[in-house]
Chains A and B, each alone.
Chain A
Amino acid sequence: MLQKQEMEEVLSILLEAGGDFGELFFEDTRSAEMSMIDGKLEKVNSGRICGIGLRAFLNTNAVYAYTNDLSIENLKGTARRIGKALKGLPKPQEPFILNEKHYETKLPVLLPFEIIEKREKKHVMQMANEGARTYAPSGSALADLIGQIEVSYLEKDQYVRIANTDGMLTEDRRRRTRLTTRVIAAENGQKETGSSSPGYGTGFEFYNLIDPREVGQEAARIALRMIRADYAPAGMMPVVIGNGFGGVIFHEACGHSLEATSVAKGASVFCGKVGQKIANDCVNAVDDGTIPNAWGTSTVDDEGTPTQRNQLIENGILKGYLVDRLNARKMGANPTGSGRRENYTYAPTSRMSNTFLMPGQSIPEEIIANTERGLYAKTMGGGSVQPTTGEFNFAVLEGYLIEKGRVVKPVRGATLIGKGHEVLEKIDMIGNDLTRSQGMCGSISGSIPADVGQPTIRVSELLVGGRNT
């Protein structure tokens, strides 16, 4: 690994060559992935990535390079090359000294992955498989509908060391694991899927906290519920969105548009709206990268800034954006601990961590009982958004039709679309049952772990994409 003095030398070159700020990001990550089909372990892959990303700024311009040739000569050459690309005037620089700073970890680990034997990891997967396989009693009509059961196990141990020309030097170790089960139900040539994929920022002790069988059961439950469902109706209607992963609606409809990546360029519907009312009074939203051991937590972000709790919306008023170092310069704002990247091959930018809507007063049953006719989107799939226009879409994994305040039948194939800034105004009931769920969020700095979350909510009107009868 690079010595402190070597880092100082490389960073100095970034300044000498023309930058006014330089940053070095070292990463050494070990990971393992196993996949099982119908109880048989099919693939085991493990390994290590190790590299360095170098970045320099001149005012609001940025250059980035990465390499995994970690020789000091190569790093100096790379620093010189990208520093020059900034086209700043080479200038003598005040020497700086890196001061190492340690923070108490927000991702403490009790059972490191390397002390657990692979067959124990396999056993966890077998339990998830068993949960799915035995969800419907054997011999029952439903048991015959269960087709393939796919279980995958992921562990990742990422060590990062970050230094910059402000004299900052820090490190972070992020260990995360996730168990995913996908069940396919089949009948009459049709297929439906159900899935469940909890994850956490811990070591193997995660599997002491959850029962892997329940992960399998949940996936089987959704697949079996959907295979015989009618197709969802099409049109505008009230939509009740379930807690947990339902929070993907806020993530897509609003969260991405609050990232400085879009805001700094004037390419967000929420530009210039801080202090203004952008949502119904009942809406309070938070991005919190500090929650101990949460999936989207880190001790410092990928620019070395300690993570923090960012209030995004308070009683319907926009309080602030998610800001990384580069966009902080462009916006005249402070970084919010939101500079994130998948790995050293990406330059960091502002991203969400654990983002969720705060709980309200209603009990979930009351929200459904108050809905005359609409869709109950109990479990959500993923979605996407165009921050410039606020147009979002996301898929409903498990949906039900509500009639006269009652859930009357399961429906499949629904998608929800709308414009984020319009939907925030239409959130009219918020439950008291906040939970968070895990997702992978994709954007320009790669695919990163992020929690979404919310209590049960109701949107008074949303376009449901389904079929016309």
Chain B
Amino acid sequence: MNFETFKNAVFDIAAKKGLKNYELFGMEQREFEINFFEGAIEGYKDASSSGASFKTIVDGKAGMSFTEVWTPETAEKIIDDACENSQQVDASDPEFIYEGNGSYRTFPPFEDRYVKLPVEEKIAYGLEMEKAAKAHHPSIVNIPHCTYFDAAERFYVSNSHGVHLECGREGGGGYLVAVASDGKAAKTGLEFVAQESPVGLDFVTMAQKAAERALKKLGAKSIKSGKYPIILDYNMVGELLSLFSFMINAENVQKGLSLLAGKLHQAIVSPAITIVNEPYIEGGISNIPFDAEGVPTKTLTIVQNGILETFLHRIKTAKKDGVPPTGNATRGRYNQAPAIAPQNLLLRAGPLSLEELMRKMGDGLYITDLQGMHSGANPYSGQLSLAAEGFRIENGKIAYPVEQITIAGNVLELFGKVAGIGSESKLSLPSGNFSVYCPDLYFSEADIAGTESPS
């Protein structure tokens, strides 16, 4: 059964059961991945799956049920389960099914270009990147992870108000971890590429960057505890913005879980900061014209010059606040309930190159890695306490690599201390089902702990 047939079966049964308000969300996805180790294919994955989630709303209360089995029997089963689930709900804020009065931006057509690439070509890319990383320097001793990947997804939203939407998207690229060793200690460097089209993917440069990241860290030492100015690498700014995306989620705001509740139209961070949500970024892998409830996605200025302008909404939270939905409903997979997330979260770039930021800072730290985001960063309190590594900057130049330090503070306080913004917003390490684009950021002060004893 394909989605269309399954949807017709579900909608027929739902109508017969007298349901008035319902939606079927469907997803088909495929993923392809090759892992390389020491010049050979170590792992190979070629896979596909599909599933659907039925949601019905009775007296404002939503019940959901999902299945990966598309048969007439499961069509009836998910309807019955969703109805039963809705009866248990006693939340006071009503849920809604999209009535479909929005207009959608036209995106470039979905072409499924990665599927058309011969597997031999993908293998060649992988072998090439592993070789490039190894050849970069004799101190590169191991490439534990070297992967080529591509994936495509097709989304469907159909509901009882006559909304029937369908779109596809794809992306591919690679990532590589290089290990450098000086005989005493080992250091790792990670780099990745990911884009919508296979055209112009540069695996070799990516691999060399990963090797360079590892090499530069050799000979790292800790420093004394204290307050230091820091520059945060764009990838790490991206990680911190994931905390921020929790706080601008209207569902969290309405439940009193966000530090930003009640802060609309107030200054929340440095006036140098502007953050937007974009439904489409050229070459991006998270672009989508409609959200998981069928609402059109749109460009949204979330923070303008440090002032909080809007939260991200889905239909339920928008109705509660009396504002239009912003098109930010999301479902990572069909087995997850609708949540709220940006499509592409973008922190606007500034005027300064990394070298200029370092010169401006003079003395401080350039932090390239943060570890422990999922435990050491608390989205409720905004508190950070993370392991870090990077470089000591003296007189505006890299002096030596630094390891075994921690950074502590509050994410909003930290973003209040922005003293310089890098000149390019780049895709940071993909995590979760949205993309983040950030520049390097220079902060005037951060709390650092190190293992060196104070002199």
Contacts and interface: CB of A to CB of B under 8 A. Distances in A.
A418 B88 CA distance: 47
Contacts of B399: none
A466 B47 CA distance: 45
B49 interface: yes
Contacts of A360: none
B376 A393 contact: yes
Contacts of B186: 269, 388-389
B68 A48 contact: yes
A136 interface: no
A465 B90 contact: no
A41 B91 contact: yes
B45 interface: yes
**Which of B50, B222, B375 has the most CB atoms of chain A within a 10 A radius of its CB?**
B375
A148 B257 contact: yes
Contact of A67 (B43, B47, B67, B404): B47
B174 to A, nearest CB: 16
Nearest to A78: B46
A273 to B, nearest CB: 15
B161 interface: no
Contact of A388 (B78, B179, B227, B337): B179
B155 to A, nearest CB: 17
Interface in B162-207: 177, 179, 185-188
Interface string A58-100: 0011111111110000000010011001100000000000000
B318 interface: no
Interface string A271-314: 00000000000000000000000000000000000000000000
Contacts of A63: 43-46
B69 A395 contact: no
Interface in B1-54: 37, 40-51, 53
A395 B372 contact: yes
A414 interface: yes
A163 B383 CA distance: 48
B1 to A, nearest CB: 10
B385 interface: yes
B409 interface: yes
A68 B179 contact: no
Contacts of A81: 46
B37 to A, nearest CB: 6
B188 A388 contact: yes
Contacts of A45: 53, 64-66, 85, 335-337
A378 interface: no
A463 B376 contact: no
Interface in A367-403: 381-384, 386, 388-389, 391-395
B256 interface: yes
Contacts of A232: 385
A34 interface: yes
Given A51-B68, A415-B406, A468-B449, A393 B46 contact: no
B86 interface: yes
A4 interface: no
Interface string A15-48: 0000000000000000101100100111111111
Nearest to A386: B188
Interface stretch (A187-195, A210-218, A316-324, A429-437): A187-195
A177 interface: no
B198 to A, nearest CB: 19
A414 B385 contact: yes
Given A37-B255, A85-B46, A413-B385, A262 B144 contact: yes
A63 B404 CA distance: 38
A37 B179 CA distance: 46
A69 B30 CA distance: 12
Nearest to B46: A65
Given A43-B337, A184-B380, A415 B89 contact: no
Contacts of A186: 256
Contact of B381 (A191, A236, A269): A191
Contacts of A468: 225-227, 447-449
Interface in B381-396: 381-383, 385-387
B383 A412 contact: yes
Interface in B334-378: 335-337, 371-372, 374-376, 378
Contacts of A78: 46
A265 B372 contact: no
B375 to A, nearest CB: 4
Contacts of B177: 388
Contacts of A363: none
B69 A48 contact: yes
Nearest to B44: A63
Contacts of B103: none
B141 to A, nearest CB: 8
**Which of B64, B68, B448 has the most CB atoms of chain A within a 10 A radius of its CB?**
B68
B188 A394 contact: no
B266 interface: no
A184 B64 CA distance: 27
Nearest to A383: B375
B43 A62 contact: yes
B403 interface: yes
A404 interface: no
B408 interface: yes
Contacts of B451: 236, 463
Contacts of A418: 404
A417 interface: yes
A304 B404 CA distance: 41
Contacts of B424: none
A45 B62 CA distance: 10
B327 interface: no
A418 B387 CA distance: 9
B179 A463 contact: no
Given A41-B88, A82-B46, A148-B255, A265 B37 contact: yes
A50 B68 contact: yes
A35 to B, nearest CB: 8
A68 B89 contact: no
B447 A62 contact: no
Contact of A466 (B37, B45, B385): B385
Contact of B406 (A122, A382, A412, A417): A417
Nearest to B35: A62
B39 to A, nearest CB: 12
A64 B73 CA distance: 30
**Which of A65, A412, A468 has the most CB atoms of chain B within a 10 A radius of its CB?**
A468
A27 to B, nearest CB: 10
Contacts of B91: 37, 40-43
A49 interface: yes
B119 interface: yes
Contacts of B380: 184, 191-193
Nearest to A60: B42
Interface string A208-247: 0000000000000000000000011011100000000000
A70 to B, nearest CB: 8
B67 A48 contact: yes
B41 A394 contact: no
**Which of B48, B337, B374, B403 has the most CB atoms of chain A within a 10 A radius of its CB?**
B48
B416 interface: no
B255 A234 contact: no
A46 B85 contact: yes
B402 interface: no
A102 interface: no
Given A45-B337, A236-B451, A393-B375, 9 more contacts: A43-B89, A44-B63, A44-B89, A46-B85, A48-B74, A190-B381, A193-B380, A414-B385, A417-B372
27 contacts: A40-B90, A41-B91, A43-B337, A44-B89, A47-B65, A47-B66, A48-B67, A48-B69, A64-B46, A66-B48, A85-B44, A119-B88, A147-B256, A193-B380, A193-B381, A234-B447, A267-B179, A345-B47, A384-B374, A415-B386, A419-B404, A463-B450, A465-B376, A465-B386, A465-B405, A466-B449, A468-B449
